[in-house]
Amino acid sequence: MNDAYGSSPIVGSRAPDRARVDIGRAIRSSIRAVHAAFLSKPIANDLAIYFHELEPAHWVEFRDGVGALLDMGYRPVTPDEFVTPSRGGKRLFVSFDDNFRNWHRALPLLAELGLSATFYVNTLPFRDTASEAEIGAYFDRLAMSRDRQTLTRAELLEISASGHTIGCHSHSHRVLSQLPRSAWAGEIRDARSRLEDITGGAVEHFAWPYGMRRYFSEALRDYCKEIGFRTIANAIPGCQQQACVDPMNIFRTDWRFGRPLSYNLTNLCIDGRIYAALFGRSVIG
């Protein structure tokens, strides 16, 4: 998965210098390797992993990865269950961010695994309401060049009716902390209202766009609490060793397709909390 996708917004149109990109990747790889060697702990009993798209080409990897965790005794849970103090056992919180048509196509796969997931949805790009230009600009913000197809509202309703949790991910997936208050409040409030209109149920869980600490703020967090969200999820890998004591700060680690199972399991064991606290970035990259 592209390091920029889901973590770093596109802030300009100029292509990055290739040598600088390669150096950055090498540095991040080295930081991860050091942490994997010296700052790893046994895999935690509570895990929160997240995905973006789930194309058919990913199904085998998804089945193998999630299946391995289920075989290890992890039980899929909702956001509310995940933030409730554990009475023992292993819990697995699985979520998806953004808005992809291939989620709907993967419903049989999720059913096969007995997996109840949470979908944090952007409401701008529904393909039965948005223009091609709006959808294109949306995927450009995500740095997404692969399957650029989004859900219809009916498909989202079917996902909800299949027993999955629908959460809010803002309307158009912008960097909320860079917007004036009226704009970011509208992004959150309007998206939530649209999702509730579609599903007919309350939407009480939120994940902020781009997920890293530098793209959110305490004012945004307070607003989410004020309007009734019960949980907020981030996208800061390397913090699975931190027990979830704050429902407004669920730490999630992204599962990376194209990487071996061992790589992803190692990411769940790396303790990158100090690095994240010091630099506001993920030790995993």
What's 243's domain CATH number?
3.20.20.370
pLDDT at 16 over 80: no
User: Which of 3-7, 83-87, 265-269 is least confident?
Assistant: 3-7
Q: Which token pair is 239?
A: 């913090």
Q: Pick the more confident residue, 13 or 281.
A: 281
Strand-strand pairing, 90-98 and 118-121? parallel
Kindly give, in sequence order, each residue whose CB lies less than 8 Å from that of residue 153, ignoring residues fewer than 6 positions away.
126, 128, 129, 198
Calculate mean pLDDT across residues 130-138.
97
Total number of domains constituting the chain: 1
Domain that holds residue 249: 18-279
115 part of a folded domain: yes
5 part of a folded domain: no
6 part of a folded domain: no
114 part of a folded domain: yes
State the pLDDT at residue 5: 41
pLDDT tens digit sequence for 171-224: 999 999 999 999 999 999 999 999 999 999 999 999 999 999 899 999 999 999
Calculate mean pLDDT across residues 78-99.
95
116 torsion bin: left (phi>0), alpha (psi -120 to 50), beta (else): beta
DSSP assignment letter at 3? T
State the pLDDT at residue 282: 84
Q: Is the dihedral of CA 150, 153, 158, 163 positive or negative?
A: positive
13 part of a folded domain: no
- Give the separation between CA 94 and CA 7, rounded to whole angstroms: 18
pLDDT at 134 over 60: yes
- Give the global pTM: 0.92
State the pLDDT at residue 209: 97
State the pLDDT at residue 25: 79
7 part of a folded domain: no
pLDDT at 3 over 70: no
* For the chain, the helix, strand and coil percentages under 3-state DSSP, each to the nearest 5: 45, 15, 45
Strand-strand pairing, 46-51 and 74-76? unpaired
10 part of a folded domain: no
284 part of a folded domain: no
State the pLDDT at residue 21: 62
- Burial of 109: CB neighbours in 10 Å, binned 0-12, 13-18, 19+: middle
User: Which of 244-253, 255-264, 271-280 is least confident?
Assistant: 271-280
pLDDT at 264 over 80: yes
